[in-house]
Chain A
């Protein structure tokens, strides 16, 4: 016969394990609904209805940013490495909107092109000092090793 405190421990541990498992399963089931944006390959595989506003996220393909003559409109390509979606946006761009960096565009698909009403910059988890900008990863590593 278990002591009462051991009984409580076993019951509580079992209840918490079941609860955690339930939450993990729910999170897994929600992985599409809970996402903040679609990536280009998802947009290509399941194109949203023309009047439905969605968010598209991915990397701004290097060399794809093209400023229109009106000074506010910009065309660029958002890529997730598997698919590309051309995007057009007219308005003020966030400071971190640069080629090769992440972006989240809100808008809708019009004849194969994503017309964005709003643009958010998404930066990655890498933090690089200004002095090391433009260096390759190897150069940066060497600089760090030398200055230690």
Chain B
């Protein structure tokens, strides 16, 4: 685990992994979106509006996966004091929040024609909105800790506590009566015709690769920022000694 704690070693891997993820993501997400928008069938009742699913479901998945990543990194940060864990969690938070927002926006656009409403306060929609607010809280906490040099432990604990919302989002449509339908895809099978399922799996894979690429880019950016800061501090220190 600590083999990757060395930032130089991490950066060596990130240097080739990031472009690979980016290229794979563009190919898969682009291809699946083109397939979904132009070649996949229209739905029996919903017609063409069903095509927004190829953006909506990957965004929802990444919003939840992102917080899963923040929670795992926070755990590693608290238990093993892993030096890259906090950087990873901060890097995940912004794209996670963006995909959560895309999920809410596309869901709202889809809800109007399909259900007859832009928004309802049912269990699924509300818990997803809570996830977006949790991301906003996490970003603010982590940024404050980074700016003031304060204890990052607060952000890590917040990342772990916020993770309880993830099973709530998933099970909201199973535990409670909601306007949102239960999941169509699960590990045990699909209640979705293959014509919809394959482009959906393709775009989910593609956006996940893009997400990984963005996270690696942001980790490099945060590490470079920290390095520049410490170099400036060293210079200021030596200039002070020379004077």
Contact = CB atoms under 8 A, between A and B. Distances in A.
A and B bound? yes
B61 to A, nearest CB: 16
A20 B167 contact: yes
A31 B78 contact: no
Given A94-B115, A94-B116, A123-B114, A129 B122 contact: no
Contact of B122 (A36, A98, A128): A36
B188 interface: no
B42 A132 contact: no
Interface centre among B81, B116, B167, B171 (most CB of A within 10 A): B116
Interface stretch (B17-25, B177-185, B202-210): B177-185
Interface string A105-148: 00000000000000111111111111111000000100010001
B181 A123 contact: yes
Nearest to B42: A130
Contact of B193 (A12, A30, A124, A132): A132
Interface string B120-163: 11110000000000000000000000000000000000001101
State which size class the interface on B falls in. 35 or more
A27 B123 CA distance: 11
Nearest to A93: B116
B50 to A, nearest CB: 7
Interface residues of A, number: 46
A140 B80 contact: no
A127 B78 contact: no
B192 A127 contact: yes
B46 interface: yes
A14 interface: no
B196 interface: yes
A127 B194 contact: no
Interface string A35-76: 111110000000000000000010000000000000000000
24 contacts: A5-B79, A19-B161, A35-B123, A35-B176, A35-B177, A37-B177, A38-B177, A94-B116, A95-B114, A104-B179, A120-B117, A123-B45, A123-B46, A123-B115, A123-B181, A125-B184, A125-B191, A127-B193, A128-B193, A129-B193, A131-B41, A132-B193, A144-B193, A148-B194
